[in-house]
Amino acid sequence: MKKIILILLLILLVTPVHAKKFKVKNCDSSSMADINWAVDFIDNNIDEMLAEATFIPGKYKDKIKKKWPSTTLKCSKKKKCSGDTMGYHKKGSGNKFNLCWDQIRDFNQTRCELVGILMHEKAHAANVPIEKKHNDMNAYSYVSNVDLVYRFDDVVENVCTRKSDPNYVPTGATKTGGDIVESGRAGKLALDQLCSEHTQCASSKCGKGRCVCDDNNDCGSKSRCIKKIGKNYCVPTGGIIGDFCKKNSDCGIGKCEKKSCVCKKDTDCRTSFGSTNFRCAKPGLGFGKNFCQPTSVSNGGACAKNSDCNSGKCKKKKCVSK
């Protein structure tokens, strides 16, 4: 019996542990070349994309990176794939999300836009905080400028577009003939860059394989360092509406609600968007977050009450004629 146990232990010790692989389900062959290209690009560039998304705290970046390799992607034709919806993540579905391939094809999305869609849904899976009107971006045009997930989507697409350019040369490298030669990085590593030892980082702090802050000075003049067991991270201070926050003083405008800077009064919206045609809408009974509601809305536009509409009539959250 002891020999059997010993043999089993030896097998466990010498058998390599394999991470779960990215899975694709229900996607036809015509889509696989583009999907595989996008997945490979993310595999090779996820660290750079996360590093450039400076507005997302490190703990969410860690979740995105950790969850990415074991993602299950499913091509869907359900009712949710309508309008301009390119993908969706069901609340509580963990590390699975759906891709609306017919929509992606019909809207002629590029491969870099596909990369953005994949990372957008992965941000949802990692529970990155969203703006209250995240799902109503067409009605509320300001959402794309303040919502963390949409901003991440933009960063991802920019990285992809830049690195897909045949003339692209990485920072710190030179191009001689057709060859790109890496010249290496001078000095210490910046926040979010990969590390294995504290001494490699300018902050003198390496946490879970990335350089992290050790005090407020490491985060710069407009952020502070939150110290967590396992990994510290920077949080912006003086934030605008939509920025991540932990307390009211992190927000330069408005207040902090459910990890986002939101409006507190009408002037917060008017200052943020440079327009008098906004007010601060405050959901009753403590449900949801405050949000900036456009006013002087034409028929068919989104509204919360009659006074939001030029017609003076709001019905089923849409401005209509009286």
- Structural domain including 36 reads 23-164
In a domain, 225, yes or no: yes
Domain count of the fold of the chain:
3
**What are the pLDDT digits (tens) for 126-147?**
999 988 888 888 878 788 888 9
Residues 33, 147 share a domain: yes
Residues 37, 76 share a domain: yes
Look up residue 205 and give its DSSP letter: -
| pTM for this model (two decimals) | 0.69
Which among 235, 262, 289 is the end of a domain? Answer: 262
Please state the rounded mean pLDDT for residues 60-76.
89
Residues 231, 301 share a domain: no
Measured at the alpha carbon of residue 25, what is the angle toward residues 22 and 30, in degrees to the nearest 5?
A: 105
In a domain, 12, yes or no: no
> What pairs with residue 244 in β-bridges?
260
Please state the rounded mean pLDDT for residues 164-172.
68
Other CB atoms within a 10 A radius of the CB of residue 185 amount to 11
- Least confidently predicted of 43-47, 173-177, 315-319: 173-177
Residues 99, 61 share a domain: yes
Model confidence band, residue 175 (pLDDT cutoffs 50, 70, 90): low
In a domain, 270, yes or no: no
> What pairs with residue 23 in β-bridges?
72
In a domain, 176, yes or no: no
The rounded distance, in Å, linking the Cα atoms of 194 and 248 is 32
The CATH code of the domain that includes 28 is: 3.40.390.10
With a CB cutoff of 8 Å and minimum separation 6, the contacts of 286 are: none
Q: How far apart are the first and last CA of the chain?
A: 85
Residues 106, 35 share a domain: yes
Helix (H) or strand (E) holding 226: strand 223-226
Residues 287, 317 share a domain: yes
**What are the pLDDT digits (tens) for 217-257?**
888 778 889 887 767 888 888 888 888 888 899 999 999 98
